[in-house]
Every structure is written in structure tokens, then in C-alpha cells.
Amino acid sequence: MKRVLILGGGGRIGGAIARDLADRCRAIGLACHITLTQRSPIYAQTGDLDANPNQSHTITLDLDDQAALTTAIAAADLVIHAAGPFAYRDDRVLQRCIASKTHYLDVSDHRAFTEAMLNLHNAARSAGIVAIVNTGVFPGLSNSLVKACVERVEQQTQPGIELDSIALNYAVSGSGGAGVTVMRTTFLALQHAFAAKLHGEWRTVAPYSDRESIAFPLPFGTIGTYWFDVPETLTLARHFNARSVTTKFGSTPDFYNYLTAAVARFCPAALLQIQPRSSFYHG
């Protein structure tokens, strides 16, 4: 029986992970017990997972309760960290996974959090655990796509050729169907300038600036994109040693771009930094 602990399992993303994991375990005949955590018991969103108590159950857990967190992690074979926004998170979960030799995976999307996790690389290796960060849509999928593209270019070019640039452009329709937590994380990322590697040098970039028109496949078409701080801005530049890495984001219709820019420039940072206690946020 494999034991999986999903932190933030009562939220939208954590609940989706739990349902998908349960379906895949059933499909391959793997016995798997899934424990989902949430800040408040009234906000469970796990659907039919609770129909089979031998397969899963939900517990109330606050990540600030260090004793309870340590106990929950020690009882698992794998911890999946989906309790965002990760702008508020530190490395305590992975630290405890390393101490108990429990494998770890997260769906983080925040640059500072990513750096903190990568700093534990040697400790995780010494403990003999697998620890994978940034496995969400982005940067998870975008990292994988860039890796595949870089490998293809390397196969078609002469040895010693330097990688010049990597450009990531994201487009969504409206809010992209994002929940409140994801939207708050997006706006929080627009509060501060950040470092990006351009032409071989690290430079400070203003968020949601330097509009660029990008031709996306239909039905999107041409969309204005803007600088956006994501972990790939750092990790791709380090891993592939590219001279330039640009990461830009845009919405359609264009009205959403102007709305996002207005929030980034005029919304008080203190308002966005209030940690919510709603059904969309489970620590």
C-alpha cells in the first residue's frame, strides 16, 4: 500500500491531483492510500474520493503546526505539496521530507520558493529521496518543452555552438479559468522588479512592461505579451546557460492586459499580501 500525502488537498489544484492519482492507481491496479490536508474541514472538494474510505481520507492540518506536519509527513511514502500561494511558503515541508526520507513533489510557481528548494539539492540527494519542484502547468510543462527544443537544436548544430536565447510567451483567454488563489499569486508577482538574463548580463526588469506582439496559433491570434516573473526566468538561464531568457505573459481580449497592468501599478501591495482563509486557500 503506497501512502500519499497531498498538502492543500482540499483546494482546487490539490483535489484535482488527488482524483487523477486515484484514477491512475485504479487503472494499473496499485493499492494507494491518499491523505488530503486542508486548513478547515468544511472546505473539502475531493468529490468521489471519499466514497471509498480505504482509498482516501481528509485531515485538518495547518502547516504552521510543525509537530502535526512532521507526523503526517513521516507516515507517507510521497508528499505532494499543493498548498499555495507559494509566495508565502518556505522550505519546511521539504526539510521534513528529507529528515524522514520521504519523497517529495510540488506544484510551486514562485521564484524565491524555487531557489529555496534548489538549495536543498545536496541534502535531498544525501537522504536518498527524489524531490521534484515546479511540476505544474508552468513551469513544469514549459521546462519540459524547452528541454526538448534545446536537445533538438543541439543535435542539429555543431559542438561548441552557444545557445543564444530562449523565449517563453504565455497566453490565456480572460483569467484562464483561474481561481482566486492563482489570481492573487499572479498579482503578487507583479509587485516587484526582478532579474532576467539579457545578452549575457543579469538586468532588472519591470513586471508587465515592454509589450511585444506575438502571433499565437488560432483561436488566439496575435496577442500583446509583457514581462512576467516566473521560475523559468532563473532556472532556464542557469541550466542551459542561454545568453538571454525572456518570459512574457498576455491575455485576450486586450482589456485584461490593461486591467492586469493597472492592478500591478496601482493596487496597494498590502491588500494583495493579506493571507486569505477561504475555500480557495488551504495551508
Grouped pLDDT means (10 residues each) for the chain, 283 residues: 92 91 91 90 50 70 94 97 90 97 95 94 97 89 90 79 88 67 67 91 92 92 92 89 92 84 68 47 35
Residue 214's CB is within 10 A of a number of other CB atoms, namely: 16
Nearest to 112 by CA among 217, 235, 276: 235
In this predicted structure, what is the pLDDT of residue 46? Answer: 46
Structural domains of the chain, ranges and CATH numbers in brackets: 2-132 (3.40.50.720), 142-272 (3.30.360.10)
Q: Beta 212-215 vs 222-227: how paired, if at all?
A: antiparallel
Q: How far apart are CA 216 and CA 211, in angstroms?
A: 15
What are the contacts of 175-183 at 24+ separation with CB within 8 A? 175/251, 175/256, 176/251, 179/12, 179/280, 180/276, 180/278, 180/280, 180/281, 181/11, 181/12, 181/84, 181/85, 181/276, 181/280, 181/281, 182/84
CA distances from 280 to 49, 96, 176, 273 (A): 19, 25, 16, 15
- Backbone dihedral region of 29: left (phi > 0), alpha (psi from -120 to 50 degrees) or beta? left
Say which residues have a Cβ less than 8 Å from residue 2's Cβ, sequence separation at least 6.
Answer: 25, 30, 31, 32, 33, 77, 78
Say which residues have a Cβ less than 8 Å from residue 111's Cβ, sequence separation at least 6.
Answer: 194, 229, 230, 231, 233, 234
Q: Please name the residue ranges forming H helices in 167-208.
A: 180-188
Are 269 and 191 a contacting pair, CB within 8 Å?
yes
- Decide: pTM greater than 0.75: yes
* Helices and strands in the chain, H and E counts: 10, 12
Q: Retrieve residue 87's grid coordinates.
A: 509566495
In this predicted structure, what is the pLDDT of residue 258? Answer: 83
DSSP 163: P
Q: How far apart are CA 283 and CA 264, in angstroms?
A: 25
Are 197 and 152 a contacting pair, CB within 8 Å?
no
Say which residues have a Cβ less than 8 Å from residue 185's Cβ, sequence separation at least 6.
Answer: 84, 85, 86, 87, 109, 110
Omega before 207 within 30 of 0, i.e. cis? no
Sequence letter at residue 117: M
Coil, strand or helix: which one is 249? strand
Coil, strand or helix: which one is 185? helix
Sign for the CA dihedral angle at 109, 35, 179, 48 comes to positive
